[in-house]
Structure 1
Amino acid sequence: MKVLNGISIAVVVSLIPQALLGELAKALLPFWSGAATIIAITGLASSMLPAMIGILVGMQFKFTPIQTACVGIAAVCGSGVAQVDPDGGFHLQGTGLVINAGLTAAIAVGLILLIGSRLKNYTILVLSVIVTLVAGGIGWAVTYPAVKALTVWLGGLINGATTLEPVLMGIVLSTLFAFLIVSPISTVGIATAIFMEGVASGTANLGAVATGFTLLIIGWKANGFATSILHVLGSPKVQMANIFSRPITLLPILSSAAILGGIGGAVGISGTPISAGFGISGLVGPLAALNYEGWGWSTGNVIIVALVFVAAPIALGFLFTFVYSTLLGWVKPEHYKLDFE
């Protein structure tokens, strides 16, 4: 749970700048050259996610600055965010494999706890060497290939659903991505790996949208406005620890996603490989749908997109909050409480 909490906070810190400003800056780029700087630095912030995961996981265990920094280095090594450039140095792109960054951070934490205070005055000289080579090396050479293979397999499984009838495909993909968006697995990484396109991408994106709005509504009383809106404007991944500690909290999310995905499949909501994993943050999903071939910015299309991306998920969020919280009492707002202190 401490590792998942660390990942959740890291997601907020590293990904929110790009989620809020990325698409806006791209839209402003033809008219304002300064937007390129915003795109660059928010993109760099997102690539810092593995380092933030390691540091914030270390803080969860109340490590010393040296120990925390060691976990951060190990997490970067295991994430794959930095690939060796044949011409020298490293090529930094994307966020890496979030799940392996978290796994490597956990290995580093275990190693540091095992070492304890045995190094004494030699800690500053030796600890970073041990953690980097052992935990970072395991993440780099052992777990990364395995996790990457798992990601590819999962992508192939999801790709199989794209051959289904549109409404059924929408239900399946939306539900799958609703689960993935609250897991350590990168929805964007999966979608881009299998080049998810068209209605498959659009309905997968709706899974993230449904998750964001449902979490906003069902946890409102416990989290208040500022924290609740993170689920929509940022990423629902902030709920990872809560979801995994109490799996029944998935029910409102998956129920909402299934219906919204079916609606999206019926009306043909489409998207790109990049938009599939983003939800509505930065308006990535709605803009991709409107700009997709065969759609366009007609009044009718704008209304359809507004209904599917905003009105419907809000209505479904209230519906399943009533069903699972008020009527059945299976979940409570406190189950979705977030604490970033």
Structure 2
Amino acid sequence: MKDDAIMTTAATHAAKEPQQPVANPNVSTTPPSRETVGSFTMKVLNGISIAVVVALVPQALLGELLKALVPSYPSLQQFLALIALSASMLPAIIGFLVGMQFKLNPIQNATVAVAAVLGSGVAKVDPDGGFHLQGTGLVINAGVTAAIAVLLAKYIGPKLGQYIVLFLPMIVVVVAGGIGWLVTYPVVNVFSRWLGQVIVGATDLQPILMGAIMAMVFAFLILSPISTVGIATAIFLAGVASGTANLGCVCASFGVCVAGWRANPVAASLLPVIGSPKVHMANIMGRPLNFLPILCTSAIVGAIGGWLGISGTPISAGFGISGLVGPVTALNAEGWGWTFGNVLIIIGIFIVVPLLLSIVFVRLFERAGIIRPDHYRLDFV
């Protein structure tokens, strides 16, 4: 009887306790953290950077090779179409990965991805019905649209409660997608093409001077959080401007490799060359003087590249020596070709000269006491 009384009392108290609402897995219960303009922008740029690598690396590494082989092996055309289609998925990947940077839930991420596609302009309305999908779209505007969509999804989504599935996609698509499609795309498209044409035109007029400038700028960008491929594709960088920008990335790769050779294991030292020099981003951003030998090397190599007329594409501009994207693209450019002499020139400008100059300037700045090998130490643990 006593046990029954205890159970009855417990049940009575339990009935009086307020019922806790069941959590909806599609609604984020974490209050939105305060974002500064700088941190918000960096998250968007980081999402774009990762997306560019995921979507464009297959085309960058295999595109030129497959184009060369297709005349002899027509069946490879299917694979060429495959990687071209993967590149067209860039806006969707940008939206999804930007959303992940802000730790959005699946529904919010999906709506941001849809909005980014709408704002990118990658799909054009076909007069005969449906849509025509071509290229990668406008990378900058895909990022801008994704940023607007994130703001809506992050701050409006949680207020919709259980109705998030019904209303959030509609709100984000109409508002963020509409702004990206109708308002920002025409403006950003005109500005991006104008900026690219100005840079390419200036490089054509002053290839040596602009070659040095482009190489220095892209050497810095590839060692920063900003995506070099994203910038190059966004402003449609091509020709000698692209080729010399690529040489800047090459100089950054060899520069940090040489500078950190005595402070890092062999595998870690080679990582900037066979992978990406961005692994040294903290070393350069934390101590800008570490960039000095790379700056000197890239200025000279970029000037030589402008004099030689080293060319590239918007995709190749930001990859450097990784995957041999830059050298292969330069050899396939108009006016070049795979002759013995051209191959020797490309090997010299992409490997021999940057490596030798990196050794010279690294030793020079070391003797001046400005840099030390431990300034370029990589710690992955």
TM-score w.r.t. structure 2 length?
0.71
Please tell me the root mean square deviation across aligned C-alpha atoms, in Å: 3.8
1:99 matched to which residue of 2? Answer: 140
1:146 matched to which residue of 2? Answer: 187
1:18 corresponds to 2:59: yes
* Residues 156-210 of structure 1 deviation map (CA, whole Å, 9 limit, x = unaligned): 4314423544422422343455567744754245346xxx54x555434433443
Aligned AA (1:158):
I
The alpha-carbon deviation at position 152 of structure 1 amounts to 2.5
1:84 matched to which residue of 2? Answer: 125
Identity over the aligned pairs, expressed in percent? 51
The alpha-carbon deviation at position 282 of structure 1 amounts to 5.5
CA distance in 1, matches of 2:260, 2:85: 31
Contact 1:202–1:270 (CA under 8 A) maintained in structure 2:
yes
1:162 matched to which residue of 2? Answer: 203
Bigger mean CA offset, 165-174 vs 75-84: 165-174
Bigger mean CA offset, 108-117 vs 278-287: 278-287
2:311 to 271, 280, 283: 271
1:328 corresponds to 2:377: no
The alpha-carbon deviation at position 230 of structure 1 amounts to 6.3
Choose between structure 1 and 2 for higher RCO, CA contacts under 8 A separated by at least 6 residues. 1
Contact 1:9–1:56 (CA under 8 A) maintained in structure 2:
yes
Aligned AA (2:351):
V
CA distance in 1, matches of 2:363, 2:141: 37
TM-score w.r.t. structure 1 length?
0.78
CA distance in 2, matches of 1:66, 1:230: 37
Contact 2:233–2:315 (CA under 8 A) maintained in structure 1:
yes
1:127 to 168, 176, 191: 168
C-alpha spacing 1:323/1:74, structure 2 compared with 1 (3 Å): farther
Residue aligned with 1:83, SS = strand
Q: 1:185-204 alignment to 2 at 5 Å?
A: 185-188=230-233, 190-191=235-236, 196-197=238-239, 199=240, 202-204=243-245
Structure 2: unaligned runs, 5 residues or longer: 1-41
Residue aligned with 1:118, SS = helix
Aligned AA (2:180):
G
Q: 1:62-81 alignment to 2 at 5 Å?
A: 62-81=103-122
* Residues 249-276 of structure 1 deviation map (CA, whole Å, 9 limit, x = unaligned): 876655443221111133x234365676
Contact 1:180–1:187 (CA under 8 A) maintained in structure 2:
no
Structure 1: unaligned runs, 5 residues or longer: none
Aligned AA (1:32):
Y
The alpha-carbon deviation at position 35 of structure 1 amounts to 1.4
CA distance in 1, matches of 2:260, 2:63: 27
Contact 1:71–1:109 (CA under 8 A) maintained in structure 2:
yes
CA distance in 1, matches of 2:125, 2:235: 22
Bigger mean CA offset, 217-226 vs 268-277: 217-226
Residue aligned with 1:62, SS = coil
C-alpha spacing 1:333/1:103, structure 2 compared with 1 (3 Å): farther
Bigger mean CA offset, 289-298 vs 131-140: 289-298
Q: 1:117-266 alignment to 2 at 5 Å?
A: 117-176=158-217, 178=219, 182-183=226-227, 185-188=230-233, 190-191=235-236, 196-197=238-239, 199=240, 202-211=243-252, 213-214=254-255, 221=264, 224=268, 228-229=272-273, 231=275, 248=288, 254-266=295-307
C-alpha spacing 1:165/1:21, structure 2 compared with 1 (3 Å): closer
CA distance in 2, matches of 1:47, 1:247: 38
2:18 matched to which residue of 1? Answer: none
C-alpha spacing 1:293/1:16, structure 2 compared with 1 (3 Å): closer
Contact 1:203–1:270 (CA under 8 A) maintained in structure 2:
yes
Contact 2:258–2:358 (CA under 8 A) maintained in structure 1:
yes
1:58 matched to which residue of 2? Answer: 99
Bigger mean CA offset, 86-95 vs 289-298: 289-298
CA distance in 2, matches of 1:276, 1:21: 12
CA distance in 2, matches of 1:170, 1:68: 40
C-alpha spacing 1:329/1:139, structure 2 compared with 1 (3 Å): farther
1:45 to 83, 86, 89: 86
Contact 2:313–2:329 (CA under 8 A) maintained in structure 1:
no
Residue aligned with 2:74, SS = coil
C-alpha spacing 1:219/1:61, structure 2 compared with 1 (3 Å): farther
Q: Kindly name which structure, 1 or 2, has the bigger radius of gyration based on alpha carbons.
A: 2
1:30 to 63, 71, 77: 71
CA distance in 1, matches of 2:250, 2:158: 46
The alpha-carbon deviation at position 153 of structure 1 amounts to 2.9
C-alpha spacing 1:242/1:89, structure 2 compared with 1 (3 Å): farther
C-alpha spacing 1:200/1:19, structure 2 compared with 1 (3 Å): closer
Contact 1:275–1:285 (CA under 8 A) maintained in structure 2:
no
C-alpha spacing 1:200/1:230, structure 2 compared with 1 (3 Å): same
Residue aligned with 1:88, SS = coil
* Residues 59-104 of structure 1 deviation map (CA, whole Å, 9 limit, x = unaligned): 1222111111111111111111112222222221221121221121
Aligned AA (1:187):
A
